Structure 1
Amino acid sequence: MALPIDPLKILIVDDEPLNILALSAVLKSRGYLTITAGSAAEGLAFLKKDKEIKLILMDMMMPDIDGYEATSMIKHDDLTSHIPVIAVTAQAMSHDKEKCLAAGADDYISKPINVDELTALMAKYL
């Protein structure tokens, strides 16, 4: 697979360090630049200062501000509403997908993540 000339910047928001490590490694190997946040609050702070983020992978089950609330905040902010958010969650029932989309997520993928499925999904928005 050819690497992009200008790597696209992806924000990964997840409270599990191993999930962040695995996603970052896979995306970097495919030519993406990743920024990681261990909480929704940290992810929201990155969005305020980094205008080059092209897509967000948002874990939905986090303490404090969960991914549903964070996604809603992103989509209701004129400065960030254009950034695609893909919900990443272990919750795999059809009503869970509906809940993610209702919060404003552009799409949804369940854990464990199929890398080919994820990159195809990301390509749809990038």
Structure 2
Amino acid sequence: MGMPKRLLLVDDDAKNIFALTAVLKARSFQVRSCPGAREAIALLEAGEEVDALLIDMMMPEMDGYEAIPLIRSLPGRADLYILAVTAQAMLGDRELCLRAGADEYISKPIDIDRLLTLLNGAP
């Protein structure tokens, strides 16, 4: 399939969404965003077409650790490429994210080259 082109960004920080959306759209991605996991789950349940999901792991209400297994359980979403985003790279973060069901993780501030590399590895 190559590089996924339809991305869903899930982050409660509007500045992060704004910055990432600008950079990704400049690279021909179609970007949809929402401020929380509940909204993301509702979009996915409604049939939103996405190739990959970038989800902030630390959000109020429902964090990524809780949301990812729910997203994986949705019909047709078991194989969705999910990239977890963490506020800081702490020892063990990657393992926690992968155990929650993410395919890979990246820490903030997001290195765009690394992000593109990870997205390029999406199935």
Fold match, TM over 0.5?
Answer: yes
Structure 1 residue runs of 5 or longer lacking an equivalent are none
Report Cα offsets for 1:82-123 as digits up to 9, x if no partner: 111000111311311111110000000000111011011101
TM-score, structure 1 as length reference: 0.90
TM-score, with normalisation over the residues of structure 2? 0.92
Unpaired segments ≥5 residues, structure 2: none
Contact 2:45 2:74 survives alignment (8 Å): no
* CA distance in 1: counterparts of 2:48 and 2:38, whole angstroms: 17
CA contact (8 A) 2:54 2:83 kept: yes
Question: Matches of residues 48-59 of structure 1 in structure 2 within 5 Å?
Answer: 48-59=45-56
CA distance in 2, matches of 1:98, 1:76: 20
Paired with 1:51 and 1:61, the residues of 2 have a C-alpha distance of: 23
Which structure 2 residues correspond to residues 47-126 of structure 1 after superposition, within 5 A? 47-125=44-122
Q: In the TM superposition, what is the alpha-carbon distance from 1:51 to its structure 2 partner? A: 4.1
For 1:35, give the aligned amino acid. R
Query: SS of the residue aligned with 1:57?
Result: strand
- Give RMSD over aligned pairs: 1.5
CA distance in 2, matches of 1:116, 1:93: 20
Query: Aligned match of 2:22 in 22, 25, 30?
Result: 25
Q: How many residues align?
A: 121
Distance 1:37 1:77 in 2: 18
**Percentage of matched positions with identical amino acids:** 45
Letter in 2 for 1:17: A
Using CA pairs under 8 Å that are at least 6 residues apart, name the structure with larger relative contact order, 1 or 2: 2
How far apart are the structure 2 equivalents of 1:58 and 1:99?
A: 14
Residue in 2 that maps onto 1:41: 38
The AA in structure 2 aligned to 1:116 is D
Q: Who is 1:12 aligned against?
A: 9
